[in-house]
Amino acid sequence: MSPIATIPESIPGVKFASSLQRPQVSMAPTARKLGTKRKIICFSDFDGTIFMQDTGFVLFNQFGCGQTKAVALEHQIKTGERSFRDVSEEMWGSLNVTFDDGFEVMKTALEIDPAFREFHTFCQSNDIPFNVISAGLKPVLRGVLDHFIGQEASSNIKIIANDVQISKDGGAWKPVWLHDTPLGHDKARSITEARAQANDMFAVDGTVPLIVFIGDGVSDLPAAREADVLFARRGLRLEEYCIENRIPYIPFDTFADVQRELTKIARRDEEQTRGQGMPADFNPRANMWRRISSGNAIPLLKQRTPKVERVLAWPDALPRLGQESAPVAA
């Protein structure tokens, strides 16, 4: 992870909230050219990161199981009583609304990060691929991005998420899971596959791209572990967890902070490496979970992994290791 990220013992004056607060708007830096050689690739969570609300909960509260039931179901995930995939299927299955009618509510209920549009322009100006990795439903996320940033800008963002089948009358919503795991979408697998693809496409003479992940919740940890640089939204659970477990990260309030810090990282890398070989902020732990090929090595590594991460990091090992906990909802 990035060595510039500080790891304080605590954050004075910060109360970690279960729901998102409106971020303080900081002046977005100009979307100028970086003038650096190394390829940078960004991955970001969607709900709670790009948008301040959760797209699914907006629909559940209005057209499905309702807020009280949704909170109770989410608690079942946190306690390990049920898997994220199992609970999510019940939540999405509770909906009784057409896609178009549900989308009309999301247009007014959702709030985009105030600096995201500028950051996305910055990425386009510097040929930085921006990818969304989400446990949500791809058609919903694409429709939201099309509306808030425009179809042309949205078309430049790759979305890696689950699909969905919706009946014509809106009475049946059935998620089509990206992976056959208790998570439904194994974010760590997705970012590992993307990193390997990026290395094949952009690595020249041993030079590898810089991988950046931006998130807000503990469910982002498996993907975050695979990145060279981790940005965690300030005051929320991912930052709290990073502090508790001394995981290097960079806090942010809006995407203006991400742009500013990423610019510093890219320019420092240019000074130190001239864009060659490994990034200055290379994460030697990246892909650790997936590099382990010996089944005998899994129990020892699982034992050394913090409890809240175990099911997230080892979903394929659950049948033989036993399900001690379950992933926290995104």
List, in order, residues 6 or more apart from 100 with CB less than 8 Å away: none
Instruction: Provide the residue type at 257 as one letter.
Output: D
CA quadruple 8, 313, 305, 224: dihedral, nearest 10: -20
In DSSP terms, 110 is beta-bridged to: none
Query: 119-122, long-range: CB within 8 Å, 24+ apart, which pairs?
Result: 119/28, 119/31, 119/255, 119/256, 119/258, 119/259, 120/149, 120/153, 120/156, 120/157, 121/31, 121/153, 122/29, 122/31, 122/32, 122/259
Assess contact for 232 and 215: CB atoms under 8 A: yes
Catalytic (active site) residue 169: no
Residue 67 token pair: 């807020």
The CB-side HSE value for 249 (13 A sphere, CA atoms) comes to 31
Catalytic (active site) residue 113: no
The CB-side HSE value for 16 (13 A sphere, CA atoms) comes to 16
Q: Find tokens 């279960």 and name the residue.
A: 18
* C-alpha to C-alpha distance for 205 and 37, rounded to whole angstroms: 14
Catalytic residue among 45, 113, 186, 216: 45
Instruction: Provide the residue type at 252 as one letter.
Output: F
Residue 189 token pair: 């697998």
Active site residues: 45, 47
